[in-house]
Chains A and B, each alone.
Chain A
Amino acid sequence: MGMMAGLSGALLACGHAVAQGVVAPSADRLAALEKAATANTAAIANAQSAGDNAWMLVSAALVLMMSGPGLALFYGGLVRKKNVLATMMQTFAMMCVITVLWAFVGYSLAFGVGNPFIGGLHNIFLHGVGVTPNAAYAPTIPEQTFMVYQLMFAIITPALITGAFAERMKFSAMLVFMVLWAIIVYSPMAHMVWGAGGFLNATGNGIPCLDFAGGTVVHVTSGVSALVTAIYLGKRLGYPQRPMPPHSVVLSFIGACLLWVGWFGFNAGSALAASGLATSAFVNTHFGAAAAAIGWLAAEWIRNGKPSALGGISGAVAGLVAITPASGFVTPMGSLWIGLFAGVFCFWMVVKVKNIFGYDDSLDAFGVHGAGGTLGALLTGLFARSVINPIFGAGKPTGFFEGNHAQLWHQAVGVAIAWGLSIVGTLIILFVVDKLMGLRVSEDAEREGLDLSQHGEEGYDWEAA
């Protein structure tokens, strides 16, 4: 609207100059000019809307690609071969179940008008969610684009948790757990950070927490909940005495590289427009992943004497996690630092801290997402720059290094709320589902493998002709 007024104002001024200098003003001529200006402005708005919508639809598909092949392959390769299908199915099930839940109630609870902590029920069954943009979130794209884009986040977040309880949880219990988790943990957290009027919304009235694409909403919640489930369920049979190495680092490698590419949709798409900010987030995402892979590999090379493929891809994912909250706020140099810190920090979490405490976070969902998400959310408060994203107003200091020292505290509050909600919510859900149906498969089923015991099939049949 502002642009429209400015443009027609300029054209009118131009019209006056012409009128004074050359010919007598003509009402017809002025009207024609005004009409042309209005049409011009509408055409510009349409073009911007079309461009933004194209990018956001592609981004939504990219984020789904992170789950579908990406995470499923990444996790599938890391388990033993008797559990490969069951592990992939857990992620795939999220693509189906969370989608339906999102349409029924999830979107409304996360992004509907509500209180500072959770959305209301005005948009259940997607009531009122059509092609008209929702100006509170993304004024240039149909609200359904925004809705489906956010759905892809709601899918991958619970799917990340599955890495912690891999190789031992009942498929049925997992489904019930995830539906409850999406309602009790994910939707409130998304509403607080991203929802209009949310308590932690950076432009709201509560504590302004910077989270561009989901450091707290996605990675802290999933990572911390993963830790809670890993401890609650207990270790896999034979852990840690019996070796349980990945059955195919090749699958994991392909999965991780798909995650890297899909993450451009995750972070750059979070600009919600095909804008310069999207470019910033795109560049930072890439730089963060590269620096973190180098950090992890270097740490591994020094400690174990060899840089491994699994180390490289784990580091890249750790960097992608850590840069997620920062991607729309920091400079490329800032993202290199964040990535490097994340690579080394997550390596230390996974190889050292996990063994000290002895919990069986099977695929390191906490060590990578919980730890990397927490680190990234805090570092966002340090490195955020108003020149990249003047979210608090043009020229106003954004991050700690710019002089806004309170931001580090605000980030810590966001992280603490995400930790608290995840721990309490997950514990309650686990307790209820455990009483209702039991969480773990029987010992026999676990030995046999979840592919056979839960799904009645095997991932690899070498004997088949």
Chain B
Amino acid sequence: MQKIEAVIQPSKLDAVKDALVEAGVSGITIFEARGHGRQKGHTEFYRGREYAVDLLPKVKLELVVTDEMKDRAIEAIISAARTGRIGDGKIFVSRIDEAIRIRNDERGEIAL
């Protein structure tokens, strides 16, 4: 099993969600987050005062998939979230040891 964490532009959330469902992913968790990578922030003006906003709104999604599903899921996220501009986000992948469905104690891939 693999955990895929992706930080994306909030405006791309719907497209990414649709692409993942189409790829066959069954479960997804979403966090509203703030952060920046190499993109840095932007400036805002309030009554002439300039404010540097370095933490920008982002959406972080987290999904755990079977090994064979991993590449399809990553492909779906990339194709839906990419604009080609700086700030598109990142994807992190890590191995998962166990999954447990709380309702009936199912273990492993069947619990995903």
Contacts and interface: CB of A to CB of B under 8 A. Distances in A.
Contact of A364 (B45, B47, B51, B52): B47
B48 A245 contact: no
A435 interface: no
Interface in A32-64: none
Contact of B52 (A243, A352, A355): A243
B56 to A, nearest CB: 15
A304 B45 contact: yes
Contacts of B51: 243, 245
A15 interface: no
Contacts of A314: 47
Interface string B16-47: 00000000000000000000000000001111
A351 interface: yes
B46 A306 contact: no
A306 B45 contact: yes
A311 B51 CA distance: 15
Contacts of B52: 243
Give the interface size bracket for B toward A: under 10
Please report whether the interface of chain B is mostly helix, strand, loop or mixed according to DSSP.
strand
A310 B47 CA distance: 7
A132 interface: no
Contact of A352 (B44, B45, B48): B48
A423 interface: no
Interface string A451-462: 000000000000
A350 B49 CA distance: 9
A246 interface: yes
A208 to B, nearest CB: 36
Interface in A216-235: none
A395 B47 CA distance: 44
A310 B46 contact: yes
B48 A304 contact: yes
Interface string A347-384: 10011100100000000100000000000000000000
B82 to A, nearest CB: 28
A454 to B, nearest CB: 25
Nearest to B47: A350
Contacts of B46: 245-246, 249, 308, 310
A300 B47 CA distance: 9
Contacts of A246: 46
Nearest to A363: B47
Nearest to B43: A304
A311 B47 CA distance: 6
Given A304-B45, A355-B48, 9 more contacts: A243-B51, A243-B52, A245-B49, A245-B51, A246-B46, A304-B48, A308-B45, A311-B47, A350-B48
